[in-house]
Amino acid sequence: MSETETVTAGFADAGAQLQGVAIEGAGALLAVGDRVEAVPGFRLADIDGSACRLGGDGAYEVTLEPFGPPAALGDAARVWICRARGTVADRPLDGFGSITRTLADDRIVLERAVTAWLGPGLAVALAARRPRRASGHGDEELHAAVMRGKPLEPLPVADPRLSSTYDGDGLLLRCGIELWETAEAEFALRYGGIAGVRGELAREDGARTRVTFMSFRGDRERGVGRYEITVR
């Protein structure tokens, strides 16, 4: 098992139709409206514990400042939900973001991660890891957390469930999130995600991460986020 840690930072401003993600050592993707592109020179910088800056040339500068403590997704990942402010593609950005720190594990061949921002007082995060010789999604280690309030306080989810629908080419079309917060819960939190634009980044260790930028909807909430699939 490797103790190498990967940092992933993302941001979204639904009003400005901007979403982006940067993976340490892999580069960055930027979605503007209905197009997505890799952004040379736009990178993670000034990583300081739970805060970081995404920087590039003068057109790209985003600061991520956590709203509260991190959510633990099992033993391998921590996620901070952040305020995201700055300038992207010469547009002002003021929205939500996330910072994820993930420990690498040589036994894991596939990882899925979902982050959804559903307003200033609600966010959800999920992480699924599939070890070698696993037969499918049923053998994945799946962890999730709900973050609520001001400041956001993370709460682990006792029974998280994640379903995904793909097209004939294996591209993500939609996903369903079902979160039973406690063993005694009478109702689950349910959110549906619809795929938007997507792109792919190659990591230094040879792994590839496909990122799908999503829109999410619950009973009363609407939001944005990402669905990431990393294959090693």
Report the pLDDT value the prediction gives residue 126, as an integer from 0 to 100: 98
d(Cα 124, Cα 79) in Å, to the nearest integer? 10
- Looking at residues 52-63, what average pLDDT do you find? 84
- CA nearest 111: which of 203, 14, 10, 174? 203
Asked whether the beta carbons of 210 and 200 are under 8 A apart, the reply is: yes
Q: What is the pLDDT of residues 190-216, one digit of tens each?
A: 999 999 999 999 988 888 999 999 999
**CB under 8 Å to 97, separation ≥6 — which residues?**
9, 10, 11, 12, 62, 64, 81, 82, 83, 84
Q: pLDDT digits over 138-191, tens only?
A: 678 999 999 999 899 999 999 999 999 999 999 999 999 999 999 999 999 999
Sheet holding 222-231, edge to edge: 153-156, 141-148, 122-131, 108-117, 222-231, 208-217, 189-202, 172-180, 159-166
What is the rounded distance in angstroms from the CA atom of residue 42 to the CA atom of residue 54?
A: 7
71 or 135, higher pLDDT:
71
pLDDT at 119 over 90: no
Mean pLDDT of 60-83: 93
Contact 191, 124 (CB under 8 A): yes
Of all residues in the chain, what percent carry a pLDDT higher than 70? Answer: 95
User: Which of 39-43, 69-73, 80-84, 151-155 has the least mean pLDDT?
Assistant: 39-43
Question: Given pLDDT bands bounded at 50, 70 and 90, which one contains residue 1?
Answer: very low
| Overall average pLDDT of the 33-47 stretch | 84
Residue appearing with tokens 């009973």: 219
Buried b (16+ CB within 10 A) or exposed e, 85-117: bbebeeeebebbbbbbbbbbbeebbbbbbbbbb
Q: Taking a C-beta distance cutoff of 8 angstroms, is the pair 98, 115 a contact?
A: yes
Residue 232 contacts residue 110 (beta carbons within 8 Å): yes
With beta carbons less than 8 A apart as the criterion, state whether 125 and 145 touch: yes
